[in-house]
Every structure is written in C-alpha cells, then in structure tokens.
Amino acid sequence: MQEKPSILIVDDEENLRLSLAIILRRVGYDVMGAGTIKEARQRLEASAYQLAFLDLKLPDESGLAFLPELRSKYPDMPVVILTAHDRLDAAIEAVRKGARDFLLKPVDPPLIIEKVAEILSEPQQPGSIGDRSTRLKGLLKKLLPETKPPPAPPDKPSN
C-alpha cells in the first residue's frame, strides 16, 4: 500500500490552514499545519513532507527569509508561496530563492487540487537556473496583464 503524500501548510491564518487542509485531505493527502516559522521548523524536524505551502507574512519571520533555509535543508520538497499580497517583486524574489510556484489568496479549491497534483507528479528537479528562469517567465505571464506590443515607429524618409 502506497503512503499518502504529506503536505505542510505554513500560514498564520487559521481559517485558511483548516480550509486548505480539508480540501486536500478530501482528495487523499496527509496535511499538517503550522502558524509560525518556529512551528514549521518543529513539524519539519518531526516528519517528512512532499510539498509545503508558505505564506510570505508570518508573525515571527518572513516566509521569504525562511525560504532559503527550507530549500537548503529540504531540497527535494517543492515550496509554493501562498499569499494575499499581490506583489510582482515578491513573486520574483520567491522564485529566485527557490519557490516552485506562487499562488494568490483566496485560492480556488479546484486550482489548488490541480496545482498540488501537478507538482507532486513531477520528477524531482534539482532547481537549475534554466528551470527557475522558465518558472519565473511563467509567473510573470500570470501576474502581468496581457499587453499588446507597441506600434512600430514610422519609417523616416532618407535625405
């Protein structure tokens, strides 16, 4: 019998942690929550997780500040930034520091289920520069509105 994938949700909003845990448990994942970075460290030392959701703003430390530690200690565990703060600079910084993806709250349950299934079905990736660059381009595409290229400048008559 195959063990259920384990997911850690690190977010100080208890309602969000509980809601997300219910959604993910219903589709077969084992889920634990942590409201602080300190609690997340304790959970990570006690158990193995296949995926972590990490809020950017936590009461004891910034999620972005914690991200390099996560990537260093648990390089095979993808981390998805989950935040209410719609900031392009935060998304870019999260990917530079090794986040797998960046989702904005509130998150649609079918989108979360789809994203988790997609991430957990991927082979373990070492997080190369090319991989990060591709993910960063995808994040930029999601966060920036569709824009049309500027019109070409008129041709100058030759003198």
- Supply the pLDDT for residue 28: 96
Token readout for 38 is 């300190």
- Supply the pLDDT for residue 126: 46
- Supply the pLDDT for residue 26: 96
pTM above 0.95, yes or no: no
Per residue, the 3-state secondary structure of 69-106, as one string, reads HHHHHCCCCCEEEEECCCCHHHHHHHHHCCCCEEEECC
- Supply the pLDDT for residue 135: 53
Cis peptide before 106 (omega within 30 of 0): yes
Measure the CA–CA gap between 39 and 47, rounded to whole angstroms: 12
Q: Which residues of the chain have pLDDT under 50?
A: 1, 125-130, 132
One-letter amino acid at 100 equals R
CATH of 6-143 given 3.40.50.2300, 3.10.180.10, 3.40.50.300, 3.40.1440.60: 3.40.50.2300
Can you give the residue ranges of every domain in the chain?
6-143
Q: How far is CA 68 from CA 5, 37, 49, 122, in A?
A: 23, 13, 17, 21
- Supply the pLDDT for residue 94: 86
- Supply the pLDDT for residue 145: 56
Token readout for 68 is 């390099």
* Angle, vertex CA 114, rays to CA 20 and CA 110, nearest 5: 55
